[in-house]
Structures are given as C-alpha cells and as structure tokens.
Amino acid sequence: MEDYGNMSPEEMSILLFRSMGAFGARGKCVLILLVSLLFAFFLLIPIFWCLRADSTISWYWAVVCIPLWIVDTIYYCCLGCMYASSDAGVDPEDKTQEKPPLYKLYAFLKALLLLVLQIFLALKLNGDLSWTLVEVLIPYFVYDGLNLLERLAGGVLGYKMLTKNSEGAGVTQTEDIKKQRSALVLAVARKLVLNLARIAQGVLLGLKVDGSLGDASWWVVFIPVWLYVAFFVSFPVRKYVRAKAKAKEPKAKSPRQQHTHDAYTRESVTEDEEEELSKFPALDALCTILVICALTSPFFILSARLQDGSFSSIYVLLPWLIVVGLVFCFICCAISCVSFHDPEDGGAPEEAAAESGVRSTPSAEEAGRSCENEVVAFKIVETSTTMDSTEYPPSFSPLFAFRIALLLARYRMRLEEPGELKVHPEEELHLYTDELFVQDERQVMNGHPVELRVVFMIGQVVHAVQNTSGMMTST
C-alpha cells in the first residue's frame, strides 16, 4: 500500500494521473473535470472581487471572500500538519537539520499574520472598522519586516562563516571565498531592496487611500511595482548581453572537456547546457519578456482603472484570464493525448489479444507451468546475453534483454510435452512487441527508434529460443 503521507505533491499528482488512466476514456474525462473545477474555483476569487468593486453584486465582502476563506482553511491546516508531523519518520542523520519546535511555532504564527490581514481588509471594506488603511496593513508590515530581519541575519551569519573559512586557507581558496562573499553580499542586498520595495508599496497605497497624498497620480503610487517589473525584465536582457558577449569571444583551441575525467561529469553537462541556452539568445530573451509583460500587465491596467475609472474592473483580470485559459487548454490537450488503455475501445486484455491473433496470458489452469516457463526464460537469457557484445546496439542493456526474454517465456511459450518447446511464429511475436514496450515505459536508448530495436531484439530472442530448443531436444 502506498504511503500517501510521505508523498510529495508531484508524486501524488503522478499517482492520481495513473489512477485515472486505469479507467481509460472515463479516467481522462474525470481528470479533465477535476482540472476544470480547480481552475474555476481559483478564478472565482478575483472575479468576485471585480464584480463587487463594480457594484454588480451587493454582497458583504466577507461573503465575497468565501472562496478565499476555503483556500486559507486548507492551506493553514496543511501547514499546521506539516509542522506538527515533520519530526516523524526523519532519518537520524537529518536530525541535526530539523528545526526546533519554537522556530516552527514562530513560522506558523508569522504565516497567520496574512490571515489576520485578510480579515482586517474584509472588515475595512464592509465599513465595520474605522481604522485607516495604514493601520489595517500593520500585519503585513510586521510579516515583511520579519522576513527582512531573517534575510539580514542569514546574510550576516553566512558572511561570518565565509570569513572564518578564509582564515588559514590557501591563495586559491581565499580568492574563491572572496568571490563567494561578494556574491552573498549582492544577493542579500538584492533581497533586502525588494523587501523594502514591497513595504514601501504598502505604505504608499495606505497613504493614497487615506487621502494623505492628495492628488498624487496612481502611476506614481505604483512606482515600487514598476521597479519590480524592471528588475524582472533585466534578467533576460542581461542574459542576452552575456550570450552575445560570449559569442564574440574566440573559442578555446583546447578540447571542451580538458578539465573533466570523463564525458559524464558535471562540468561537461554544464558546458553543454550553456551552449544550448545561448543558441538563440534573442528569441529566448523575447519570449521571457513577453511572459513577464503578460503576467504584470494587470498592474498597468489597474493603475489606469484607478486613475480615471472609465471601464470595468474585469478588464484588469483579462490578461491573466487569457494566460490561465491557454494553460488550461494545454493541460487538457496533454491529458487527451496521453495513451491510456481503454477497456471500452480495446476490450479486456484477453479479448484484445484474441482479436489480434496473439495468444493471451496463461489462465489459472496453466499456472502450474509458470516455473517451467521461467526456467526456459533463464536458459534463453543465458544463451542470448553471452553473445558477442558487438552484435548489440550501443548502450544495449542485458537486464532489458532479460526482461524481454522473461515476458516472451511467460506469455508466448508453452511446454506441451516433455522435451518439446512450442514457440509462436515470429510474426506473432512482432505483433506482441508494442504491448511489451508499453509495459517497459517505451524505452529508447541513444536515439535508436523503437521499431529498429524491436526487430533486432526479436531476432536475437528467436535465435536464442531456437538454440535452446535444439539443446533440449538433443538431450
């Protein structure tokens, strides 16, 4: 039985995907329905906000935020369970990395500040609180202030550790440590600036809504957001500049892997990846900038909406709705294109095998002969895997050959009389090949097409079967 409690979200998603796939077309429909409900539920949150802001609906803001409260309930329950059960099942070697209970309590209480902020905002919008918006945003300021202190403390501790490691180190190690310290200072400074920008944005919003900024334009109020957008856009631009500068540099005459021990070390992989990434730097930068613009465009539309208010708030969400729609279509197409076994289309495995002229899996009456069949399989492997290695394609796996031989021995051979081995014709083995490769997760090595490997291995296995049957009849 699967241990669902220790599974990551990715593993649980894969398990759900495979479970739905076991039902064929029905599983696809159920999976698409679940994805649709999930997308629709999360889209309800901003859509309700826009409808309430336009006075299309007159609900209380606490009612408008019901989908958000549901998400908060699930999130904080999962977060509390994660902090409470993180000690169970931990390896003794990882005990030193386990966070103390006091830190877990601090992290959970810090996360609760965001829930308090949501409650305060709902009460403020309903008119149940007479506080200013700056006072309502105090939980957010505390939350981001704690994050600021954590990053600052982590940077100081990391810098001291690197300084301590540099004492007594050699010249080369000292230079590397200096570079690491410079990179650490730059990373910490970048995080602190972004954190301060978020706090400044909250203060500016509060002052603008409270009327303390007078007739200041909303485009000026959102200056921290524009700085954020410029910061994210700078990444693909700098990457493009580095790629162009690297392309102008003369290539080294020495081999590409001169500092590596073999062709599979991390250095080789890194160099190959860098070459692939810099192959189309302009296209890479353009696509990245387009994605950033699509994700940040609602902030520009929101500024225009707050400045003149001449259009509906639903247009603020339009870019995100388009992106979400494209992602939803992509997921549905991916689910539909995945090859699942459909009991309605293909029937039962026994019926499908009978229709294609292939003998089905042994029934319960023939189960007593399974041991004899496995003995035959081992004899096949013994003869087939001892052939000259030059007969196999590159990276041919003997273990993979054993699996093919074992499947053929179990499903395609019968010992009808002592000393006589009955094998199905070679064309029937070809018909059954696709099912074997589906069971082996469609393995393809070194770019060899599946069809070529199928023909080669069928020939090798049939040749081994003939040799084995000849040895058995001669004895």
**pLDDT value, residue 45:** 94
Structure tokens at 253: 């005459």
**Whole-angstrom distance, CA of residue 426 vs CA of residue 184:** 65
Q: Nearest Cα to 378, choosing from 359, 412, 362, 401?
A: 401
**Whole-angstrom distance, CA of residue 378 vs CA of residue 470:** 16
- Contacts of residue 457, Cβ cutoff 8 Å, sequence gap at least 6: 401, 404
Q: Nearest Cα to 358, choosing from 314, 414, 412?
A: 412
3-state SS assignment for residue 415: strand
- CB neighbourhood size of 333 (10 A): 10
Structure tokens at 134: 């700056």
> Cβ distance 257 to 267 under 8 Å?
yes
**pLDDT value, residue 368:** 46
Q: Which parts of the chain sit beneath pLDDT 70?
A: 1-23, 86-97, 166-172, 251-278, 338-475
Find tokens 């977060």 and name the residue: 79
- Contacts of residue 356, Cβ cutoff 8 Å, sequence gap at least 6: 431
Q: Nearest Cα to 293, choosing from 343, 251, 235, 233?
A: 233
**pLDDT value, residue 431:** 41
**pLDDT value, residue 390:** 42
- Contacts of residue 190, Cβ cutoff 8 Å, sequence gap at least 6: none
**pLDDT value, residue 115:** 96
0.95 exceeded by pTM: no
**pLDDT value, residue 362:** 46
**pLDDT value, residue 282:** 86
**pLDDT value, residue 230:** 93
**pLDDT value, residue 169:** 62
> Cβ distance 473 to 419 under 8 Å?
yes
**pLDDT value, residue 25:** 77
